[in-house]
């Protein structure tokens, strides 16, 4: 805080205000996995071709048309240069252009299928037969569209990217690099489980979030007449019983599975959002996720009630698809470990059906066929729901069992089957309590409470390093008319924390002091402590602690210690209160950074006090403990005690690798830790010379 700047000025000028931010911004439209490219000299010339374009968009929304062969080839190669490894191109091309273009691009992994649309089938047959990716030659547009639609439905089902997989392993990695990769995967596993937990337990979406979703869908698919019509039908039929405000929104929750299984943007959008953690989509789409979960839960319970003691308690279901060789290698290495399916999982009770789907996959150096066999003990408690949805599905001729996203399986066996020419992976459904991350998950779930809110989601996003998304959630919550004082102070507290992480210290202080004003219910946050409500003292202590940390970072040490003292005063009735931990840690940092060697012993005392509280109130290997070890290492380094410095950095790195994944925007923190360890090792070697 600059000299002469008052607290009221800081609050007025610097606090984050609630903007009109919205989920599902149309500035960042949904990026579909499949693109349809049509190359023909007359693609835009006739009414028939323009009509065919609309029909093709009904199959694959992202349609790009070209009349120039060089521009088309350049566009395809741009996709490769951009590194979009999950993008796939289905190509429709005339015979004349195809004869020239296909030999040049056929080997590209980006190209998954080619359809020749021409006037003379026979004249193109000889050269087309030489290329495996060419599905057929067509002279009739409707015939081509029917075939492409059938093939695309299969492609989306067997796509190696159609389900997200994350693996938790209890084994040690091979070497330091292997250990790091393992811990990153475990952290990602934990984050995905918590994301799904939050989405399932949150209250249904507020009115504006649903409107955001519909507006987003209409904008994304505005050039796709078929999808626009389906979206309109969804709005007319999908009427949540719990929402008296949305009289125009006609969707019925009991038809959630029917809508999910229908060929439309809904299942593609939802599963890719789950797989890629597209938080914008998931936040707005959560009412649909909750409805799917509730319907599956009801069907699951009804299924269990119909079973007799004579029925086989083991259910076996199957799924055939493609799998990337890297993912296959990871699964083979992880036999005995745990695997989470992060998308909704469509399976069949017929293994032959699954194998038939897998056979559609053409094995390459990058892609293999696989059949998953899921073994489910229906007597097991505390699992994600699953149910046979044949009677609820849009396609009632399929004997389909739908398994809830986030389901956890144990990998039992992975073998190559010579007879069927595919890999067979056997997995067994697990209880949520079966794996070693249970302790941390129980702690995290307890913090969520019985009904998580947007606040919890925002906090989770910030933990993942998605600070901009987190701020969007907090601002959205501040915009809601129903926001309570409790919600408001929580929002400003978190906005202050995010600004602090981004080293925006003035903004951080402004938000913290706004929070404090709400808590003290007074125009000035510096009035006597007498004004606070007794039941609000812990919240005020947390805010004082947060302000103290900012002043510690800006080296305004007297102010930092003053606010730390205020926090401890409010917590004086409970010597083991969990909020004492961060206060002690901040005070330790102040004494460490004062560059007064006489204060270093005091810093060590406060670090030990912080550890004592953390070990009593946090689960083992919580990220906060790892961060405190990192702070302690800096103290030892100032004292030139490099042996203890190395021990503290190493312990910090071990703990933080468990909770920070490679997708975390703050992953650079781990790189800094690793670099610090190497520097300290060199200092130790220099001391010994």
What is the tens place of the pLDDT at every residue in 397-447?
778 999 999 898 999 999 999 999 999 999 999 887 665 556 666 766 666
Does residue 395 share a domain with residue 253? yes
| 177: pLDDT strictly greater than 90 | no
CA dihedral 272, 278, 284, 288 (to 10 degrees): 30
Q: Do 138 and 170 fall into the same domain?
A: no
- The candidate with the shortest Cα–Cα distance to 426, out of 354, 353, 364, 342, is 354
- Could you tell me if 150 and 239 lie in one domain? no
Same domain, 180 and 283: yes
Q: How far is 569 from 357, CA to CA, in rounded Å?
A: 66
Residues 426, 281 within the same domain: yes
CATH number at residue 354: 3.90.176.10
For CA atoms 463, 464, 467, 471, give the dihedral sign: negative
Residue 12 pLDDT more than 50? no
The DSSP bridge pattern shows strands 367-377 and 314-324 to be antiparallel
CATH, residue 70: 3.40.50.2300
Domain CATH number, residue 571: 1.25.40.10
Same domain assignment for residues 447 and 576: no
Q: For residue 649, report the phi and psi dihedrals to the nearest 5 degrees.
A: -60, -45
Rounded-to-integer distance, Cα 74 and Cα 76, Å: 5
What domain count does the chain have?
3
* Residue 45 located in a structural domain: yes
Residue 502 is assigned to a structural domain of this protein = yes
Q: Report pTM.
A: 0.75
Is 124 inside a domain boundary? yes
Q: Is the pLDDT of residue 162 over 80?
A: no
Query: Does residue 413 sit in the same domain as residue 492?
Result: no
Residue 637 lies in a domain: yes
- Give yes or no for a contact between 348 and 388, defined as CB atoms under 8 angstroms apart: no
Sign of CA dihedral 316, 317, 321, 325: negative
Q: What percent of the chain has pLDDT over 70?
A: 82
Any bridge partners for residue 115, and if so which?
92, 136
Q: Sorting pLDDT into bands at 50, 70 and 90, what band is 120?
A: very high
Could you tell me if 135 and 188 lie in one domain?
no
The pair of structure tokens assigned to 678 is: 């190497």
Strand ranges in 71-197 using DSSP code E only, listed in sequence order = 88-93, 111-117, 134-138, 165-168
Note whether 177 and 87 are same-domain residues.
no
Domain boundary among 106, 136, 158: 158
- The DSSP string of 438-457 is HHHHHHHHHHH-SS--HHHH
Q: How confident is the model at residue 657 (pLDDT cuts 50, 70, 90)?
A: confident
Q: Which residues contact 434 (CB under 8 A, 6 or more apart)?
A: 338, 408, 410
Considering the domain boundaries, does residue 464 fall inside one? no
Mean pLDDT over 610-633 rounds to 93
Does residue 532 lie in a domain region? yes
- What residue numbers bound the domain in which 116 lies? 34-158
Residues 622 and 659 in one domain: yes
H or E element: which one contains 587?
A: helix 580-593
Mean confidence (pLDDT) of the chain:
84
- Band of the pLDDT at 660, cuts 50, 70, 90? low
192-196, 456-460, 560-564 — which one is most confidently predicted on average?
560-564
Choose one of 129, 158, 187: the last residue of a domain. 158
Mean of the pLDDT values across residues 449-453? 67
Work out the pLDDT band at 304, boundaries 50, 70, 90.
confident
Contact (CB, 8 A) for 608 and 566: no
Contact 376, 386 (CB under 8 A): yes
Residue 26 in any domain: the answer is no
Q: Which residues pair with 446 in a beta bridge?
A: none
Say which residue, 662 or 551, is predicted with more confidence. 551
Q: Tokens 């607290």, residue?
A: 7
Residue that finishes a domain, picked among 158, 184, 216: 158
pLDDT exceeds cutoff 60 at 258? yes
Do 351 and 213 lie in one domain? The reply is yes
Question: How high is the pLDDT of residue 394?
Answer: 84
Give me the half-sphere count of Cα atoms (radius 13 Å) on the Cβ side of residue 502.
19
pLDDT given at position 523: 39
Same domain for 497 and 441, yes or no, is no
Residue pair 286/347 in contact (Cβ under 8 Å)? The answer is no
Is residue 373 included in any domain, yes or no?
yes
Is the pLDDT reported for residue 4 higher than 90? no
Q: How confident is the model at residue 508 (pLDDT cuts 50, 70, 90)?
A: very high
């Amino acid at each position: 805080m600059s000299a002469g700047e008052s607290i009221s000025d800081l609050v007025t000028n610097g606090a984050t205000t609630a903007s009109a931010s919205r989920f599902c911004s149309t500035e960042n439209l949904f990026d579909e996995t499949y693109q349809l490219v049509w190359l023909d000299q007359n693609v835009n010339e006739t009414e028939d071709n323009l009509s065919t374009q609309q029909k093709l968009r009904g199959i694959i929304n992202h349609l790009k048309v070209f009349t120039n062969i060089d521009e088309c080839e350049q566009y395809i190669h741009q996709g490769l240069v951009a590194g979009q490894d999950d993008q796939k191109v289905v190509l429709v091309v005339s015979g004349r252009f195809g004869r020239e273009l296909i030999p040049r691009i056929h080997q590209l992994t980006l190209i998954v299928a080619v359809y020749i649309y021409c006037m003379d089938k026979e004249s193109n047959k000889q050269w087309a037969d030489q290329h495996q990716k060419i599905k057929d030659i067509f002279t009739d547009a409707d015939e081509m569209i029917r075939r492409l639609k059938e093939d695309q439905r299969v492609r989306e089902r067997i796509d190696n990217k159609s389900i997200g997989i994350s693996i938790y392993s209890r084994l040690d990695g091979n070497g330091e690099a292997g250990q790091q990769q393992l811990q990153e995967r475990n952290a990602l596993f934990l984050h995905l489980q918590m994301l799904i937990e939050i989405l399932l337990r949150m209250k249904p979406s507020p009115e504006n979030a649903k409107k955001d979703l519909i507006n987003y869908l209409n904008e994304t698919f505005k050039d796709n007449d078929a999808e626009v019509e389906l979206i309109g039908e969804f709005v007319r039929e999908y009427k949540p019983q719990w929402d008296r405000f949305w009289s125009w929104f006609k969707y019925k929750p009991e038809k959630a599975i029917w809508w999910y299984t229908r060929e439309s943007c809904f299942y593609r959008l939802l599963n890719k959002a789950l797989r890629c953690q597209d938080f914008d989509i998931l936040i707005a789409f959560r009412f649909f996720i909750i409805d799917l979960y509730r319907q599956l839960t009801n069907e699951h319970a009804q299924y269990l009630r119909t079973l007799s003691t004579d029925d086989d308690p083991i259910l076996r279901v199957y799924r055939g698809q493609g799998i990337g060789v890297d993912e296959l290698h990871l699964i083979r290495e992880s036999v005995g470990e745990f695997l989470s399916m992060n998308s909704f999982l469509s399976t069949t009770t017929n293994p032959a059906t699954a194998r038939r789907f897998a056979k559609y996959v053409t094995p390459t150096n990058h892609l293999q066929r696989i059949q998953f066999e899921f073994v489910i003990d229906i007597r097991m408690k505390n699992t994600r729901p699953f149910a046979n949805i044949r009677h609820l599905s849009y396609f009632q001729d399929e004997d389909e069992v739908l398994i809830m996203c986030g389901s956890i399986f144990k990998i039992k066996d992975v073998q190559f089957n010579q007879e069927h020419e595919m890999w067979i992976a056997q997995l067994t459904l697990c209880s949520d309590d079966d794996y070693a991350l249970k302790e941390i998950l129980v702690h995290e779930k307890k913090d969520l409470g019985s009904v998580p809110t947007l606040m919890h989601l925002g906090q989770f996003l910030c933990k993942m390093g998605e600070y901009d998304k987190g701020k969007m959630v907090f601002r959205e919550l501040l915009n809601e008319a129903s926001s309570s004082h409790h919600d408001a102070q929580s929002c400003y507290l978190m906005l202050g924390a995010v600004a602090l992480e981004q080293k925006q210290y003035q903004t951080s202080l402004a938000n913290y002091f706004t929070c404090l004003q709400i808590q003290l219910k007074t125009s000035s946050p510096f009035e006597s402590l007498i004004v606070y409500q007794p039941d609000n003292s812990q919240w005020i202590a947390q805010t004082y602690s947060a302000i103290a940390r900012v002043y510690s970072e800006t080296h305004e040490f007297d102010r930092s210690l003053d606010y730390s003292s205020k926090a401890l005063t409010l917590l004086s009735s409970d010597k083991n209160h969990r909020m004492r931990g961060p206060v002690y840690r901040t005070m330790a940092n102040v004494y460490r950074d004062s560059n007064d060697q006489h204060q270093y012993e005091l810093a060590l005392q406060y670090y030990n006090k912080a550890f004592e509280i953390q070990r009593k109130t946090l689960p083992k290997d919580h990220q906060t403990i790892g961060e405190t070890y990192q702070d302690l290492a800096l103290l030892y380094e100032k004292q030139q005690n490099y042996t203890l410095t190395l021990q503290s950095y190493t312990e910090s790195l071990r703990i933080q690798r468990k909770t920070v994944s490679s997708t975390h925007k703050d992953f650079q923190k781990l790189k800094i830790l690793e670099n610090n360890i190497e520097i300290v090792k060199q200092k130790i070697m220099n001391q010994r010379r």
